[in-house]
Structure 1
C-alpha cells in the first residue's frame, strides 16, 4: 500500500533552501576506550535496529505532474555505507575541532534522492572517545509514524544485545503509471488533499487568498515565517554556513537554584539562557542593541486531545515565553520566567518531566525533532526557539560504549540568527547552540555567558533558605505537575 507524505511533511520539503536546510542534528560522545566500539560495530548495531524505524530505508518519490502528494517508497539502492559515514579528527582531536566538523556537516542539505538521514562516526577524539553526529530531515521524524533512529540504538547497560535485525527486501518501486493511477484514485476519495497538491505544483499555496481549504496553509505560513524585526543581534539574512557550540553543566546546580528560589528545573534553564543572552548582548553594546526582552518559543509537552498524538505518550504545543534580558537581578529573572509558566502549570495539561525522562530508549532526540517542527510551523512572531528535553539520569550505552555527553544541534528558522536546545542526561545538563556563521561570529562568547549565568544563579542560592520555608512553593498536596517544555529535566 502506498503511503503519501502528509501535507505538513511536504511543507518542510518545499520550505527548504540552501540557507535554511530543514534537518535536526545531535552530537553524542562515547567513551570507547577498551570497548571495541568502532565503525564496523556501529554499522552492525544500526542494521540490527533499523527495522524499528522502517522509514529510514525509504525515500521520497514524487508523483508525475505533482497530481498528488509524494509517496514514501523503499529505496531499492539503499546503501548503509552512504548513510553511516566514517570521519576522523587529527589525534588527539579537540572539542573545538569537533565543533568545526559538526558545523560544516550540518550546513549541508540532505540528498533528496536518498532516505533523508546521515550519521557520522567521528574517531580521533582525545582519551579514546568517539562522537556520533546524527542528521535527520524534519519531514522524516514526526514522532507519530517515525521516531528518531538514535532513540532505538542505546541500551541501559554495557551488555551488547543482538536483536536479530530483519531480512529486509525492498518492495518494488511503483511505476509512473501506477503513481498517476493512485493519485487519480486518491484524488477522488480525498479532493481536499488533491487541491493542496495541485496548489503546491503551481507554487500558489502562499499567494492564493483561499488556500486555507487545502489544510496546508497554516503549516506553510508558519514555515515561511514572519521574520523578526531587522537590526537586532538575533535576526538577519542567513548565510549557508553555521557555527555550533555546547555548554556542559550539572543537574545538581540547577536543582540547587530550584530548591533555593522555587520553580522548576526548566525555569532555571530558561533563566540561565536569559542571563546568558543579557551578558552576551552587553559585550556587543551597552544598550544591548535596543533589546529589553526576547520573545522565545518553547515547545511544551501536554495532554491535549485536540492536538496530534505522538507515539511518545503526549502532544507537543507551542508556548511563548518572554525572557527578561533587561532585568539585572538573576533571581528576579528566574521568578519572571517561573511566572510566565504559571498559567500553563495550572491548566492540568502539563506533563511531568520525570514521566518523559522515563520513556523507553533515548527519547530526547525524537522530542527535539518534534519541537523543531512545532517551532517551524508557529505563525506567531518570536525571536528565538528553545527546545528543552529531559533524558534518563543513568548512563546509556551503544554496543558496550558509554555515552558521556549529548548535545542538540537545533536548526535555524528563516531570519533567526540563533537557535538553542537543552538535554539533561546522567546528572548533566547539556546546552546546544546553533548560530549563523556570519551573523554570530562570537558564539563562543555567548556560550561562556550561559555558563557564567548559571554560576551567578548558583551563587544567589548559596546560604539561601529553601523556597518552601519562605512559602514560595505550594504544599505538596496542592501541587500540579511541572510543565515540560519539550520539557526540562526532573523537577
Structure 2
C-alpha cells in the first residue's frame, strides 16, 4: 500500500507558486585537496546511503478525479545522474560568484513529476575547495517519515563507512483503477480522505484566483501610471529571484558574551540578528519608522506529546519574539531577547543544545527543513521575519574523505515575507544563511555586514566584564582575551 500525502503537505503544494517555491537548501563547503572528492565519489556516496531515505526515489502520483490526496510511488525512471549534478565556477572561484550561482539555483522550483530533490557539486572554488548545494522540497523532508539526505552523507572520520548500495527495484506504478479502488477504501476506513482532498483542491483554486487578481491589479496599476505600493523592507510581493548572503562567525565569541551577560547562545545569536536588523534598517529610506520592534517567529525544539512527533527525538514549536530593533544599547537588546525566552525555559519543555548537537548525522539540515515548514504554517499569525537557529556537532565531519568546513542554511521565502534567516553552529563556527528577494531587497548584502558589526558591538561590552547578567542564568565573567579576527562573509 502506497503512502498518501498528508493534508498539511497537500496545503504546502497548494500554496507553492513560482515566486514562492517551497524547498529548503543547504550550502556546504569542503576541503578536498587530498581526498579526491569529486562528482563521481559523491554519486557513489549517495547511491550507498539513499536506501535509508526511500522517499528520495519516489514521486507524487495524482488520483484520477482528485478523489483523494496524491500518493508517493516509486519512480520507475529514477535517474541518480539527473538529481546529482555537476557545476563549476571560473577558477579561482570566489564566494561572491558562488552566492550568485546559489541564488539562481534556489530560485527555480523543483520538477513535480520527479522525486523532489537536487544536489549540485560546485567545483572551482579558490583554495581547492568545493561546494555542495542541496535542495529538497518541504513535503519530501518532514522529519517524521523522512530526514534530509544530507544528514546521512557525513561521517565522523575521513574514512567513509560504505554500507553497500541496495539492489533497488521500483515497484510498478499503480493503475488508475487501482488508485480509485484504494481511494474508495480509504474513504471508508478514513472518512477525512475525501474531505481533505476536496479542501486541498478548493484551496488551490482560490489561491490561483487570488494570484490572478493580484497580477491583474498590478497590470492595471501600471497602465494607470501608478507603481505598486511596497510594504517596506520586511514585507511586500515576491519576485521569482533570490539573493543569498552568507556570514561566518566564531562560536567562541558568542560564548564570551553569554558568560558575561548571561542567557544562552541562542539569546546572543538573536541579539546579534536584532542589532544587524537595526543597523540595516537605519540605512534604508524607511529608517526605523514602524520598526521599533520586529516580530520574529523562532522555531524551538521541545518535548511535548501533544505536538506531532518527529524521528529526531523532539517536537518543533513556534516561539514568537519581538526583536527590539529600536533599542540603541546592545546589552539591553540582549537582556530583552533573553527575557522573552525566560518563560519558555521555565516550562521545562526545552531541549538542550548539546542534546540536539549529539543527534546522529548532521541533523541541522533536517531541523532547518522542519523549521521552514513551521514558519510557512504560522504565516497567518502575522510575523515579519523567521529566524531558525540549529546547533550542530562541534567536531569535524567528512563526506567521502573531504572535511566540511562550513554549512549555510538557505530557507525558502513565503508570500509577503522577503527575508528569512537561518543559523547553523558547527565545529567552532556559527554560519548565517540569509535568503532575500532579489527585487525587494537589493541591499541584502549590507545586512550581512551589519550582522558582523552587531556581534562586534556585543563583544565590545564584554571587555572587563562591566555588565551584569540579566534575570535567569548568570554567567561568570572571564578575563578579556586578545581581539578576535573579524567574522568573514565567505
TM-score (norm 1): 0.90
1:80 is aligned to 80
SS of the residue corresponding to residue 77 of structure 1 reads coil
1:37 pairs with 2:37: yes
Q: Name stretches of at least 5 consecutive residues in structure 2 with no aligned partner.
A: 208-228, 477-490
Q: Aligned partners of 1:263 and 1:201: how far apart in 2?
A: 47
Could you say if the C-alpha distance between residues 466 and 397 of structure 1 is closer, same or farther in structure 2, counting changes exceeding 3 Å?
Answer: farther
Q: CA deviation at 1:349?
A: 0.3
Aligned to 1:450: 451
Please name the residue that 2:439 is paired with. 438
Q: How does 1:10-49 map to 2 (within 5 A)?
A: 10-49=10-49
Would you say how many aligned residue pairs link Structure 1 and Structure 2? 454
293 and 181 in structure 1: CA distance in 2 versus 1, 3 angstrom threshold = same
- Distance in 2, matches of 1:145 and 1:422, equals 24
* Residues 259 and 467, structure 1, Cα contact 8 Å, conserved in 2: no
* Matched ranges for 1:44-443 at <5 A: 44-203=44-203, 231-285=231-285, 287-378=287-378, 379-443=380-444
SS of equivalent residue, structure 1 residue 461: coil
Instruction: Give the 3-state SS of the residue equivalent to 1:349 in structure 2.
Output: coil
- Report the CA distance between 1:160 and its aligned residue: 2.3
Report deviation, 1:189: 1.3
The answer to whether the Cα contact below 8 Å between 1:28 and 1:406 also exists between their aligned partners in 2 is yes
The 8 Å contact of residues 302 and 351 in structure 1, kept in 2 or not, is answered as yes
The separation in 1 between residues aligned to 2:31 and 2:65, in whole angstroms, is 51
Q: CA offset at residue 204 of structure 1?
A: 7.3
CA deviation map 1:41-72 (0-9, x unaligned): 00000000000100000000000000101000
TM-superposed deviation, 1:475: 9.7
CA distance in 2, matches of 1:9, 1:203: 13
Task: Name the structure 1 match of 2:6.
Answer: 6
Q: CA deviation at 1:413?
A: 1.1
Q: Report the Cα offset of residue 191 of structure 1.
A: 1.4
Who is 2:486 aligned against?
none
Q: CA deviation at 1:200?
A: 2.5
Question: Secondary structure in 2 aligned to 1:244?
Answer: strand
Change (3 A) 1:118 1:475: closer
Measured on the aligned residues, the alpha-carbon RMSD in Å equals 1.7
Q: In 2, Cα distance between the equivalents of 1:18 and 1:204?
A: 14
Partner SS, residue 4 of structure 1: coil
SS at the partner of 2:461? helix
Write the distance in 2 (CA, Å) between the matches of 1:205 and 1:96: 40
User: 2:14·2:204 contact (CA, 8 Å) conserved in 1?
Assistant: no
State the Cα distance separating 1:290 from its structure 2 match: 2.9
Give the CA deviation at 1:310: 0.4
Partners of 1:414 and 1:285 lie apart in 2 by 23
Contact 1:302 1:349 survives alignment (8 Å): yes
Cα distance in 1 between the residues matched to 2:125 and 2:460? 34
Q: Deviation at 1:284? A: 1.1
For the 8 Å contact 1:89–1:124, the answer to whether it is kept is yes
**8 Å contact 2:28–2:131 — kept in the other structure?**
yes
The CA deviation at 1:393 is 0.2
Q: Using the alignment, how far apart are the partners of 1:466 and 1:396 within structure 2?
A: 37
Structure 1: tracts of 5 or more residues without a match: 208-228, 477-491
| Paired residues of 2:48 and 2:163 also in contact (CA < 8 A) | yes
Q: Distance in 1 between matches of 2:158 and 2:132?
A: 17
Q: Shift of residue 289 of structure 1?
A: 3.9
1:65 alignment partner, SS class: helix
Alpha-carbon deviations, 1:19-53, whole Å to 9, x = none?
00000000000001121111000000000000010
2-structure distance, mates of 1:399, 1:264: 35
| CA displacement at 1:473 relative to structure 2 | 2.8
Secondary structure at the aligned position of 1:174 is classed as coil
C-alpha deviation, 1:194, in angstroms: 1.2
Q: CA offset at residue 380 of structure 1? A: 1.1
Shift in Å, 1:161? 1.8
